[in-house]
């Protein structure tokens, strides 16, 4: 997989300020006001990690790394969410940030994801979304507007995260 390619249509500073405003908004009402995010990292399903009108009404992007213990807990949950909601329009893309491809591939062999994967060893996409913790997840509408973001993953988080997914799918 290739490194991320990004579009900064209106200038990096303005784009970053808009993204910061979007990240501060955790509810769908405010997310509609933020500009669509441009993130052109290719996923294993052949589509950009975040795309307009692609396969799905909502995209759940999760940042992970092989060394991250909570990431190991989140993958079975994401498999379950994929199995439960892909038919309703949910697309899950997990973006690996390992610098060494062998570490990422070993993790994926153990985790056996049934959803899309992208690898970003330069972590450009994580910087773009200001990822501060591992794992970090972001739920976007089909128009690439942020609906919800979440840092970390604990088993106690599952019900609330699933409720957010259900709400995004309507």
What pLDDT, on the 0 to 100 scale, is given for residue 31? 42
Residue 17 maps to a domain: yes
- Residue of higher predicted confidence among 50 and 91: 91
What integer best gives the mean pLDDT of the chain? 80
% of the chain surpassing 90 pLDDT = 63
Residue 3 maps to a domain: no
- As given in the structure block, the two tokens for residue 103 are 């570490």
Residue 4 maps to a domain: no
**94-141 confidence digits (pLDDT tens):** 999 999 999 999 999 999 999 999 999 999 999 989 999 999 999 999
What pLDDT, on the 0 to 100 scale, is given for residue 97? 97
Residue 7 maps to a domain: no
What pLDDT, on the 0 to 100 scale, is given for residue 55? 60
Residue 57 maps to a domain: yes
Q: How far apart are CA 22 and CA 59, in angstroms?
A: 16
**66-96 confidence digits (pLDDT tens):** 999 999 999 999 999 999 999 999 999 999 9
Q: Tokens 């990240």: give the residue.
A: 23
Range of the domain at 36: 12-169
CB 1 within 8 A of CB 44: yes
Q: Determine if the pTM surpasses 0.75.
A: yes
CB 4 within 8 A of CB 120: yes
Per-residue confidence band for 41, with pLDDT thresholds at 50, 70 and 90 = confident
Residue 135 maps to a domain: yes
CATH of the domain at 71: 3.40.30.10
What pLDDT, on the 0 to 100 scale, is given for residue 3? 30
Residue 6 maps to a domain: no
How many domains, in total, are found in the chain? 1
């Amino acid at each position: 997989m290739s490194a991320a390619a990004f579009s900064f249509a209106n200038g990096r500073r303005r784009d970053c300020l808009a993204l910061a405003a979007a990240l501060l908004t955790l509810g769908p009402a405010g997310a509609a006001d933020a500009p669509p995010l441009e993130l052109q990292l290719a996923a294993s399903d052949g589509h950009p990690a975040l795309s307009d009108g692609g396969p799905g009404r909502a995209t759940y992007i999760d940042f992970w790394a092989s060394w991250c213990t909570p990431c190991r807990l989140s993958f079975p949950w994401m498999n379950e969410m994929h199995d439960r909601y892909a038919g309703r329009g949910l697309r899950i893309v997990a973006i690996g940030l390992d610098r060494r491809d062998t570490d990422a591939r070993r993790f994926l062999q153990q985790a056996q994801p049934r959803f899309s994967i992208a690898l970003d060893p330069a972590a450009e996409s994580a910087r773009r979304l200001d990822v501060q913790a591992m794992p970090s997840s972001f739920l976007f509408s089909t128009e690439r507007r942020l609906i919800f973001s979440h840092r970390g993953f604990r088993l106690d988080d599952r019900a609330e995260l699933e409720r957010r997914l259900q709400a995004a799918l309507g």
